[in-house]
Structures are given as C-alpha cells and as structure tokens.
Amino acid sequence: MTPADGPLVVERRIQASPETVFGFFADPRRWLQWQGLEAELDPRPGGVFRMNVRGDGWAVGRFLQVDPPRRIVFTWGWEIERSPLPPGSSVVEVELIPQGDGTLVRLTHRDLPPGEVPAHQAGWSHYLDRLAVRAGGGDPGPDPLRLSP
C-alpha cells in the first residue's frame, strides 16, 4: 500500500515469533540469509547500517532506534554516484506485531523521492517474501535479483 503523497508501506505475515523475526534484522549473518551479499550492521542507535544488496551498490545509513523484538528504525540511501537517494536520506521503520502464532511485519519507508518509490516497492516486496520463507524455517533459494559477479 503506497498513498501517492505518503510513505511506502509493505506488510507480510510470517510464521515465526517477533523475537525470531527481529534476529533477521539485527544479525548480519541472518540478514544475509534473505537479502544482500555483504553487510555491516551495528544495531544500536547511531550504529552503522551498510549492505551490498544485489552486487551493484551499497545501501548505507545509521540505526536510529532499536527496540527488540518490536521495532527497528534505520536510515537508508545509496552509495552510488549521482543517486537521487544519497546515504542516510530516507528512513525505514520495521514494526513486528505479534499475530496469533506469527508476526505481522510492517515496513514503512519514508522520505523516498517519487521516482524511487516503484523500485523500492518492488524490492521490499521481493525481500520480505524471502524473509517470510527464511524466518518461517524454509530456504528462499538463490536471489534472482542478485547480479552475476
């Protein structure tokens, strides 16, 4: 769901506890099981967020809030020359809401330039689908968005 003038919001229900799902956002080894090729994560306020998502550039920012197992907030942007979304220029908030025997993941990405919304909508949808498989105990397989070396 993305209102024309509002933030990008992507939700997925995952068959795992909020504690389990939170680990996939806080531990770089676990994060790389659903998104990215390399990551440097220091999940504490002011800590670094840096990830090579597909092999063609780094998403870079800082953690703003870390409230296990309910919420994690970090800035986001691309360390790519002439990017319309420079490092740390947007904010990603991940809420983990208990729902029966699972978790509703609500990812809200704010401050995206309008031209960046479609690619980020598709990207977050793709990667949250992969997270749902992995956090639920499955193997999402090779990432089809990964660029060949």
Write the pLDDT tens digit of every residue in 86-119.
999 999 999 999 999 999 999 999 999 999 999 9
| pLDDT on residue 5 | 65
| pLDDT on residue 7 | 96
**Mind listing the pLDDT tens digit of every residue in the chain (149 residues)?**
444 568 999 999 999 999 999 999 999 999 999 999 999 999 999 999 999 999 999 999 999 999 999 999 999 999 998 999 999 999 999 999 999 999 999 999 999 999 999 999 999 999 999 999 999 999 999 999 999 66
| pLDDT on residue 6 | 82
| pLDDT on residue 149 | 65
Q: Which of 99, 83, 109 is nearest to 132 (CA)?
A: 99
Collapsing DSSP to helix, strand or coil, 19 comes out as helix
Q: How far apart are CA 76 and CA 110, in angstroms?
A: 10
Domain 8-135: give its CATH code: 3.30.530.20
| pLDDT on residue 3 | 46
Sorted by where each begins, the domain ranges of the chain are 8-135
- Other beta carbons within 10 Å of 44: 12
Q: How far apart are CA 127 and CA 133, in angstroms?
A: 10
